[in-house]
Amino acid sequence: MKIYKKMVMALLSCLLLAAPLQASAQANATWITVELGLHKIIRDSQAVSRVATGDPAIADVTVGGLHDVLVNGKKIGVTSLTVWNRGAKHPREFRVQVVPPRLPTATAVQNDPELAQAQVNPGQGVTGRLPNLTAHRRAKLAAAIPKDGELADGSDVALETQVQTQVKIAEISRSTAQRFGFNAIYSGGRTRAVFGNPGSAPTLNETGTSVLPPFNEAFNLVIDSASSKLLGALSMLEGKGLARTLAEPTLVAMSGQTATYLVGGEFPIPVVQGGSSSSGNSSITIEYKEFGVRLALTPTVLARNRIALKVAPEVSDLDFNAGVTSGGVTVPALLVRRTETSIELGDGESFVISGLISSNLRRNVDKVPWLGQLPILGAFFRATEMTREEKELVMVVTPRLVRPLAREVQLPPLPGSKYDGYRPASGQLFFEDASTETGFSR
pLDDT per residue as tens digits for the range 293-315: 889 999 988 877 889 999 999 98
Question: What is the reported pLDDT for 427?
Answer: 83
Question: Which segment, 12-21, 104-113, 332-341, is predicted with the most confidence on average?
Answer: 332-341
CA pair distance 428, 176, nearest whole angstrom: 47
Is the confidence at residue 27, as pLDDT, over 70? no
pLDDT, tens digit (0-9, with 9 covering 90-100), for 161-205: 789 999 998 989 889 988 888 776 665 555 555 544 454 444 445
291 contacts: CB under 8 Å, gap ≥ 6 = 264, 265, 266, 267, 316, 317, 318, 334
Distance CA 118, CA 114 (A): 8
Give the global pTM. Answer: 0.55
Percent of the chain with pLDDT over 70: 75
**Which residues lie below 8 Å from residue 109, measured CB to CB, with a gap of 6+?**
115, 120, 138, 139, 142
Cα separation, 60 vs 96, whole angstroms: 10
10 Å Cβ neighbour count for 100? 19
Distance CA 10, CA 49 (A): 34
Q: What is the pLDDT of residue 210?
A: 60
Which of 350, 347, 348 is closest to 302 using CA atoms? 347
DSSP 8-class letter at 65? S
Give 218-224 contacts, CB < 8 A, sequence gap 24+: 218/179, 218/181, 219/195, 220/195, 220/196, 221/193, 221/194, 221/195, 221/196, 222/193, 222/194, 222/195, 222/196, 223/193, 224/187, 224/189, 224/190, 224/191, 224/192, 224/193, 224/194
Question: Is the model's pLDDT at 389 over the cut of 50?
Answer: yes
Q: Residue 25's pLDDT band (boundaries 50, 70, 90)? A: very low
Least confident of 11-25, 200-214, 277-291, 352-366: 11-25
Backbone angles phi, psi at 15, to 5 degrees: -65, -40
* Complete domains list, the chain, with CATH: 30-99 (2.60.40.1080), 104-157 (no CATH), 179-237 (no CATH), 244-405 (no CATH)
